């Protein structure tokens, strides 16, 4: 659900956190509450090196795309 929503709602954002509601209501068993575009990890555990490498690679790719678009006089759009 969150992957599909991410691609539809904010495809140019490399990393986002999603709050998901799991409901006992059969009419709406699951739904997205909100997206956090500056998510944090205050209660989570994660592999910091993997995360930082992912972020570094993502921004390096975006920067390369931006520089190419600028050099070609095109409007930058991440895909």
The per-residue pLDDT for range 40-56, each reduced to its tens digit, is: 666 777 788 998 898 89
Nearest to 1, CA basis, from 32, 34, 33: 32
Whether this model's pTM surpasses 0.85: no
The radius of gyration of the chain's CA atoms, rounded to the nearest angstrom, is 16
User: Using CA atoms, how far apart are residues 13 and 62, in angstroms rounded to an integer?
Assistant: 10
Which residue has 């709050």 as its token pair? 19
Ranges of residues in the chain with a pLDDT under 50 are none
What pLDDT is recorded for position 4? Answer: 92
| pLDDT given for residue 55 in this prediction | 87
């Amino acid at each position: 659900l969150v992957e599909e929503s991410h691609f539809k709602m904010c495809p140019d954002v490399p990393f986002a956190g999603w709050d998901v509601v799991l409901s006992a209501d059969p009419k709406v068993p699951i739904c997205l509450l909100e997206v956090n575009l500056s998510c944090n990890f205050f209660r989570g555990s994660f592999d910091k090196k993997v995360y930082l490498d992912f972020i570094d690679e993502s921004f390096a790719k975006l920067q390369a795309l931006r520089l190419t678009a600028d050099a070609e006089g095109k409007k930058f759009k991440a895909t």
